[in-house]
Structure 1
Amino acid sequence: MQIYSIITGSGKYIPEIVVKNEEFFNRTFTNDQGEVLAKPVPEIVRKFQEITDIQERRYLSSEYNTSDMAFFAAEKAIASAHIDPETLDYIIVAHNFGDILHNNVKSDMVPTLASRVKHLLKIENPDCVAYDLPFGCPGWVQGIIQANYYIKSGDAKSVLVIGAENLSRIADPHDVDSMIYSDGAGAVVLQAKESSSPIGLLCHKTRTDTLNEAHFLKMDISYHPEFADDTLFMKMNGRKLYEYALNTVPQLIKETIEKSGVPLTSIKKVLIHQANAKMDEAIIQRTFKLFDLPLTDSSRIMPMTISKLGNNSVATVPILYDMIIKGELEGHQINSGDHLVFASVGAGMNVNAFIYLVP
């Protein structure tokens, strides 16, 4: 008998404020030189939707913060797992900007979001260790990988892994890329399970490229030369990021699948971070091409939520999992015996993936 890591519960928090593309029609968009874009804004927005497939996104209401979303998702995951929160050995919260007040765009990370979540959960157990994981969009996937190490080593039996992000408050309103970003949180409980045959998390792989790629995503002031102050916003080199993702993600997924010993034809779902529908389609097509296999309909294997939820960074993959496992994503389901790929790419630049066999 060996110890494996299995997901026993999941939860999510999707903010209630829906922001449709039409709400950007009155924006003034500028380029990185501070020049107002020449094309009419409605035309810019329509082209944006054509490329990304984003039609609307969710924004967090002013009374809540990132740690609140993390707490809401955590509560649901704990209830779903039917465990006493006092038995948790670790709480890992993946995020990138901490808490950001709606009227004060500054990152607040003291105390850590994990400590704030543990406080909100009213956990007294001092042996429940809470810490944050800033790792770009792949943060939640990396949190699962770290939790698996704790479980495999015998250091933990139960770990709560949360991905929560509030990108709407860190986006430059004069940057076209601001239409990509959204808010949300997803969480799972990962627990130890003895088994005579492999189950749960089978294998994983992560890479970090920094020599030439470290600053494809970075913080900088507004593109608009008359912006009121020197507030720092998230900035993205979209073209370079797109090229990086296509050159690294398919290969890393291939290597992870091969490491698991599971044939590609046995993979039922690829749950991938979603920032651009066209990019994700190119990634899955290139992955199949690396295996010399055709893929005529990616929709059956790669579920998508980006059209309605946008890109909520570390929350994307756990929200996607929770929606499927709870029957909330039409046309998709996860069953016992299914092999899944979880994968992400983002700031750092970081790429990671793990193979999961549903118990």
Structure 2
Amino acid sequence: MGVTITGIGSYIPSGVASNSSFENHNFYNEDGSPFGYKNDVIIEKFKAITGIAERRYIKDDLTTSDIAFFAAEKAIADAAIDKETLDYIIVAHNYGDVKHGTHQSDTVPSVASRVKHHLKIKNPKCVGYDVLFGCPGWVEGMIQANAFIKSGIAKKCLVIGAESLSRVIDQHDRDSMIYSDGAGATVVEATDSESGILSHTSATYTYDEAHFIYFGESNNQELNDARKYIKMYGRKIYEFALNNVPNAMKECLDKSGAGIKDLKKIFIHQANEKMDEAIMKRFYKLYDETPPDHIMPMTINKLGNSSVATVPTLLDLVTKGKMEHQSIAKGDIVIFASVGAGMNINAIVYRV
């Protein structure tokens, strides 16, 4: 039995925020002191490190549950299934529904319950719940769906990664330029084919690393604002990822029985272009190999970092032939990998 992706869909917001849109922002350091460079220099250095030229933001009247629903509809249509036959709806996110202009996250009911409501599914045996696992949330949702199906308690699961980080960014923090919005969804089923999840691995590091990404106050200390914003220690995350993600990917690949030369694509969380490239090179170095050309498709340049949505959105674009020099075919071995708040790491080796 294979636990196979039979349908996929994504929602990429129409709102484009280019790097130039940050030219008039007032950036401060964490201690509230003014940033030591002019904005054009900050933006130039940011682009060189992250690879991000623009990112996508949702419209004011939308929330995370809305875009999760949009992606889910596409995945269900792509799988050509009756939505009433879904056993689980698993939605990975981190901040719930934050409506435009509000200061509070809304997580009651869960995003999964809201998606099920939007889909107008009547079957009460279709269970919806949320996963809070940082950026690796969609990958972890896939691992959970795999467990449900392998155990026999489910036949079909809908796994969604959706986030609207534009609602939780501090405009006075340089790191705000990293984040974006988006959603990706997959229908996962038990099939008789040899395709599907071959192996997986997950880990949570918290002894020193738990608060590398956190919710904190604005860098502009003159603001009388009770709001909290997404914050991170970028250098610590970079070092953590390089020291741990390649080893997790190797563990997963070795467990699958496939070899490094069998690997056709690496779908890695779109966190930072330089970091992802360094992870890939270190991963291949563990096998004394050099990465092949086009092995790692990237969307961060145009779509930014939409957290849990990056991997399924990337997979959807490649699957649908919407990325130059990128394609996958039946029987290809690919790997999904992610790292994020928690600090969590996970990977899946998958046969298309």
- Fold match by TM threshold 0.5: yes
Tell me which interval the TM-score lies in, with the shorter structure as reference length. over 0.9
**SS class of match (2:209):** coil
Partner of 2:137: 139
Partner of 2:66: 68
RMSD of aligned Cα (Å): 0.8
Q: Which amino acid aligns with 2:240?
A: Y
The whole-number CA distance in structure 2 between the counterparts of 1:102 and 1:215 is 27
Amino acid at match of 1:339: I
Deviations 1:88-146 (A, max 9, x none): 00000000000001100311100000000000000000000000001000000000000
Could you tell me how far apart the structure 1 residues matched to 2:98 and 2:324 are? 34
SS in 2 for 1:99: coil
- The 5 A counterparts of 1:18-97 are 18-97=16-95
Alpha-carbon distance in structure 2 between the residues aligned to 1:7 and 1:77: 10
Corresponding position: 1:228 with 2:224: yes
Q: How far did residue 194 of structure 1 move? A: 2.2
Partner SS, residue 35 of structure 1: coil
Provide Cα deviations, 1:169-222, integer angstroms capped at 9, x if missing partner: 101110000000000000000000124xx4210010001000000000000110
Kept in 2: contact 1:222–1:230 (CA 8 A): no
Q: Aligned letter for 1:311?
A: N
CA contact (8 A) 1:214 1:349 kept: yes
More moved, 310-319 vs 104-113:
104-113
Kindly state the Cα deviation for residue 330 of structure 1 after the two structures are TM-superposed: 1.0
Q: Distance in 2 between matches of 1:276 and 1:180?
A: 8
CA distance in structure 1 between the partners assigned to 2:244 and 2:269 by the alignment? 14
Using the TM superposition, give the Cα deviation of residue 296 of structure 1 relative to its aligned residue in structure 2, in angstroms: 6.1
Q: Is the 8 A contact 1:88 1:128 kept in 2?
A: yes
Q: Secondary structure at the match of 1:104?
A: coil
Secondary structure class of the residue paired with 2:65: helix
Indicate yes or no: 2:311 matched with 1:317: yes
Hey, what's the Cα distance between the residues in 2 that align with 1:228 and 1:331?
Answer: 49
Which residue matches 1:162?
A: 160
Q: Distance in 1 between matches of 2:290 and 2:144?
A: 34
Aligned equivalent of 2:330: 336
1:291 maps to which residue? 287
Equivalent-residue separation in structure 2 for 1:239 and 1:105 (angstroms) = 28
Distance 1:106 1:303 in 2: 35
Contact 1:272 1:302 in 2 (8 A): yes
Match of 1:353 in 2: 347
TM score, norm. by length of structure 1: 0.97
Instruction: Letter of the 1:71 partner, please give it.
Output: F
State the 4+ residue runs in structure 1 displaced beyond 4 angstroms: none
Given the alignment of the two structures, is residue 249 of structure 1 paired with residue 245 of structure 2, yes or no? yes
Paired residues of 1:165 and 1:184 also in contact (CA < 8 A): yes
SS at match of 1:18: strand
Unaligned runs of 5+ in 2: none
Whole-Å Cα distance in 1 between the matches of residues 290 and 101 of structure 2? 50
Contact 1:77/1:187 (CA < 8 Å) preserved in 2? yes
Distance between the aligned counterparts of 1:157 and 1:243, measured in 2?
Answer: 40
The one of 286, 302, 308 equivalent to 1:308 is 302
Counterpart check, 1:173 vs 2:171: yes
If the length of structure 2 is used for normalisation, what is the TM-score?
A: 0.99
CA distance in structure 1 between the partners assigned to 2:127 and 2:231 by the alignment: 33
Amino acid at match of 2:302: K
Identical columns (%): 57
How many residues align structurally?
352
Cα distance between partner residues in 2 of 1:216 and 1:139: 17
Cα distance in 2 for residues equivalent to 1:184 and 1:293: 34
1:272 aligns to what? 268
Matched residue type, 1:285: K
Moved more, 117-126 or 100-109: 100-109
Distance in 2 of aligned mates of 1:225 and 1:286: 40
- Pick from 113, 117, 120 the counterpart of residue 118 of structure 2: 120
Could you tell me which runs of 5 or more consecutive residues in structure 1 were left unpaired when the two chains were aligned: none
Q: Once structures 1 and 2 are overlaid, which stretch shifts more, 186-195 or 19-28? A: 186-195
Distance 1:230 1:342 in 2: 37
Within a 5 Å distance, the mapping from 1:178-197 to structure 2 comes to 178-195=176-193
| Cα separation, 2, equivalents of 1:227 and 1:46 | 27
